[in-house]
Structures are given as structure tokens and as C-alpha cells.
Homo-oligomer: A and B are copies of this chain.
Amino acid sequence: MEIMNTNMKLNSRDRAVLMRTPFLSGLSGNSLGRMFGSMTVLSLPARKSVFREGEDADAFYCVLSGYVRLYRLNREGREADIRICVPGDTFAECLLYGDKKYPFHAQTAEAATLARFDAQAVRELAEQESDVAKAVMISLSHHLLTAMDCVANDRLHTAPQRVANYILTRCPVDGGPASIRLPFQKSLLAGMLGLAPEALSRAFSALRKTGVTVRGRVIQVGDVQALREMNVHQG
């Protein structure tokens, strides 16, 4: 069942996440206050819809904890993830100057806390305060780059390459061995990479010969540099 705490006080962790987002980190005290004024906080259980495609788009969101899937359905009901939002991510700001309807579904992937910003209020604020407008532009730019990356990645790389890329983005930059822990279920990662869970699983086993071992959520990389080069020489 749904739990929604409007005007709930933020706990310190959530508050820290919120202040660190590109959206709020650059704001003056005045703008910040007004942004908080247009904001409410909500907590949702896992697999709960935040909004559905086609609904009136009257707010955008920032993830404070948990994960949110943005996805679309085809006519047969199969779903494809467009983006996985992690703590600190904002989503659906594109509606600020875009459509009047949400162009995709949003659903929590686990229990999540979200900050909800009233679209109309922020739109007006952005017209008046250049630091808010700048925050919106930074955020939109970043998401646009990420989305274009995603298109290129889907079109250029095979499943093992995408997985290797993902691992590399979460590894310390130097070569040598590394160990990372996935912050969420593998099925969520699969969707993020545009793969079926089975394909992700097979991609992991294909990477075994490049020194990648997986146990549960823990991924061990024998040699980060070698993994990077595998991606250069073959698929």
C-alpha cells in the first residue's frame, strides 16, 4: 500500500542527497528557499507507479533514495526501460517546456523517497531567477548527453561490451584488480542496458574469460586495463 507524506520533514541523508543534485547545488539562498516551497516529499513502496504515460504532467521529481524506472510499453505490453534514475537524479524536467503529458511511465524499482516539484512553480521561478534557469539547463544538457550516449551505445555495442562499459564506469580508473558491488538487482541493470535478464547473465559469463567473476551482486575484475582493451579489440 501507498504511503505519501506531503510536507514531511526530510531526514538528513535525503536532505544531503537533495542538496548535492545539480539542480539545487548551484542555487542562491533565495532561489533555494522558493524551490523548497514548491516541493513535497513522498515515500513509495517498491513497484509503485509514480506517474503513467499520458497523464497530465504537473510535476517533476528528484530521487532521494531507491530507484525509479522510466519506461514505455509497446502494443503487446512488453516494456522497455528508457532510464534508471538513481539517488540524486531528477526526472521528467523535460516536461517543463515540453509536452503537457508525461511521455513515459515512471515506477519505483524498490522502496523510494522522492522530492516532487510543482512544474508551474518552477517554470515561473526559472523565468525570474537566472540561477534556476541555469540549473534547469545544466540538468537538461546532462540528460540529453546521457540519452544520446544510450542511443549510440545500443547501436554500436554488443551485450558483453555494454556490460563491460558499465563495469568500467564503476571501477577505479587505474588498471589492476577491482571489486564492485551492484547497487541494485541484475534485472534492473539488464533493463538499463537494453537487455533481457537472460542476456545480461550470458554477457557476464562471456566476460569470465576476460577475468570478470560475479557472485551475487559482487563483481570482481581481475584486470581493469585488460577489460578496457577487450572492448577495443573485439566484441
Indicate the size class of the contact surface on chain A. Answer: 35 or more
A231 to B152 alpha-carbon distance, docked (Å): 25
Instruction: Report A121 CB to chain B, min CB distance, Å.
Output: 15
| Chain A residues touching B, majority SS | helix
Q: For residue A83, which residues in chain B have a CB less than 8 angstroms away from its CB?
A: 148, 151
Which residue on B lies nearest to A128, using beta carbons?
Answer: B130
Question: Of A78, A80, A128, which is in contact with the most chain B CB atoms at under 10 Å from its CB?
Answer: A80
Q: Is the CB of A156 within 8 A of B96?
A: no
**Residue among A126, A136, A137 with the highest chain B CB neighbour number at 10 A:** A137
Q: Which chain A residues numbered 66 to 124 have a C-beta less than 8 Å away from chain B? A: 70-75, 78, 80-83, 93-99, 103-104
Given that A99-B145, A145-B99, A147-B147 are contacting pairs, would A154 and B152 also be in contact in the complex, using a CB cutoff of 8 Å? Answer: no
Of B99, B126, B138, which is within 8 A of A97 by CB?
B138
**Is A217 an interface position by the 8 A CB rule?**
no
Which residues of B lie under 8 Å from residue A104 when comparing CB positions? 148, 152
Docked complex Cα distance between A233 and B74 (Å): 11
Pair A134/B145 contact, Cβ less than 8 Å:
no
List 11 A-B pairs, Cβ < 8 Å.
Answer: A74-B157, A80-B156, A83-B148, A83-B151, A96-B141, A98-B144, A104-B148, A133-B134, A133-B137, A143-B144, A155-B194
